[in-house]
Amino acid sequence: MGKIAERLAQLGIVLPDPAIPSANYVPTRRVGTCLYVAGQVPTREGQDQFTGKLGDTVSLAEGQAAARLCAINLLAQLSKALDGDLDRVAGVVRLGGFVNAVPEFGDHSKVINGASDLMVEVFGDAGRHVRIAVGSSSLPRNVPVEVEGLFEIQRM
């Protein structure tokens, strides 16, 4: 068992089977030593676990939990692309977070912390990244959060 797999086990995280794209895109794409992971939504076993808008039917705590689940799904896609060897991740470069929110909502960054915090919990200092957290008037299937990622990979 690798170092990152051990860390996931310590955190009680079991990576799910990665979601199959629901439109015309690929889940991951390698460019040089970087691996891009397409936006992931808060699903588990093919079912959306959260729906609605922040500032309306979804609380800040629920939004953070949804972002954390998005990050777990990012790791699942990443693991598949790396044949299960997450120790090949040299660092998390960037996360892009999209928050389905009412116009008056202003805590987008706090919501996406759910994903950012997980990356640091899993990868330590290598999990620190640049980030964007933006509001959106809607997201696919009315999920409250979507998160994409860019990872630096060693030994490609």
Number of domains in the chain: 1
CATH at residue 111 = 3.30.1330.40
Q: Residue 112 pLDDT > 80, yes or no? A: yes
Tell me: the pLDDT tens digits for 54-110?
Answer: 999 999 999 999 999 999 999 999 999 999 999 999 999 999 999 999 999 999 999
Question: Biggest alpha carbon distance in the chain?
Answer: 46
Q: What value does the CA radius of gyration of the chain take, rounded to a whole number of Å?
A: 15
Backbone phi, psi, residue 54, to 5°: -65, 140
pLDDT above 70 covers a percentage of the chain that reads: 99
Cα dihedral 134, 135, 139, 144, rounded to 10, equals 100
**Residue 59, domain extent:** 3-153
Structural contact between residues 85 and 122, judged by C-beta atoms closer than 8 angstroms: no
For the entire predicted model, the pTM comes to: 0.97
